[in-house]
A = this chain, B = another copy of it.
Amino acid sequence: MAAGCVIGVDLGGTKLLAGTVDSGLQVHHRARRLVESQKPAAVVELLVGAVEEARESTLDEVLGVGLGIPALVDPATGVVLDSNHLLLRDVPIRDVMAERLGLPVVVDNDANAAMLAEWRIGAARGTSDAIMLTLGTGIGGGLIVGGRLVHGRRGAAAELGHMIVVADGPPCPGRCPNHGCLESLVSGHAIGREGALVAAADPQGALGRALAAGREITGALVTELAHDGDAAARAIMTEMGGRLGLGMVTLVNVFNPEVIVVGGGAIAAGELLLAPARAVLEERALPVSREGVRVVSAHFGAEAGMLGAACMALDAAGVVVG
């Protein structure tokens, strides 16, 4: 580690992971925290504490800090424009952290950080045009176009969950004023919702029995039953995968990418989601645009954001990764 190391931080809505990472993207120490307050001062203290723990874990020079946060961030200014999860709106988080730490800090959206990790060392490695969809409670997105991460005018690009798929579809949850967005049709939440409908309609089925036994019908439970071979749960995953494929049709026609990487908690369903998505893509995307497009699971799970944040810090420090 002659070149020094960096600290990558993935700040989520409920937990934080910081890692001491070298230029080979090896992680030497991990610091974990729970996010117990969404208030700016508390979030800053949490971040500072985790970074200091990571910093003390190494004898090597720390070149800088990369920060992935669940918010719209203007990467040019490091100011948070909006956040569904934390009360950080209009906080100049980059400058605040840099002053507290006495280290260079770079900030980006957490999904962008995850895309960066998958592109540099994961499932999209070696490509110039790649797309990432993260299926959790909602849908996050990241874009690599022509070998660069896409930010848009103010860092708000790649809101891939908010492409219109069915113009007259259901209202989108959260702060989105739209309806019929991809996120309103497919997500961990939507899988659970479909599962609850099936459970209510068929009390004798596996989902219905789980409901009667007092279990909450979540996306994770539906996924588990689908893996176990339950036909009703599998049918839900096929439907969800097909809807995901509709979003991919738009993305393939717009970007002509090399690869679409699907991550997030819901990708535990694996091929149960990806196979029907590929089938829709094959059927409906423009032939020249879809030719050779790979649709794959993310390489990194819970560490993608932290590793991507470390990549950002290494880039900012001028360290060649690899």
Contacts and interface: CB of A to CB of B under 8 A. Distances in A.
Interface of A: 72, 81-82, 128-129, 141, 143, 145-146, 148, 150-160, 162-168, 175-179, 246-247, 249-250, 253-258, 283-289, 291-293
Contact of A159 (B156, B175, B286, B293): B286
Contacts of A129: 152-153, 157
B156 A286 contact: yes
A289 B152 contact: yes
Contacts of A255: 150, 152, 157
Contacts of A177: 283-287
A157 B165 CA distance: 19
Contact of A256 (B155, B179, B287): B155
A32 to B, nearest CB: 30
Contacts of A167: 165-166, 246
A165 B162 contact: no
Contact of A162 (B155, B168, B178, B286): B286
B288 A82 contact: yes
A151 B255 CA distance: 8
Contact of A164 (B156, B158, B246, B292): B246
Given A129-B152, A164-B246, 9 more contacts: A145-B150, A152-B255, A153-B293, A154-B291, A157-B254, A157-B255, A163-B250, A166-B168, A177-B287
A174 to B, nearest CB: 10
Contacts of A162: 249-250, 253, 286, 289
Among A143, A158, A164, A168, which residue has the most Cβ atoms of chain B within 10 A?
Answer: A164
Contacts of A292: 153
A289 B168 CA distance: 21
Among A81, A151, A157, A179, which residue has the most Cβ atoms of chain B within 10 A?
Answer: A157
A285 B178 contact: yes
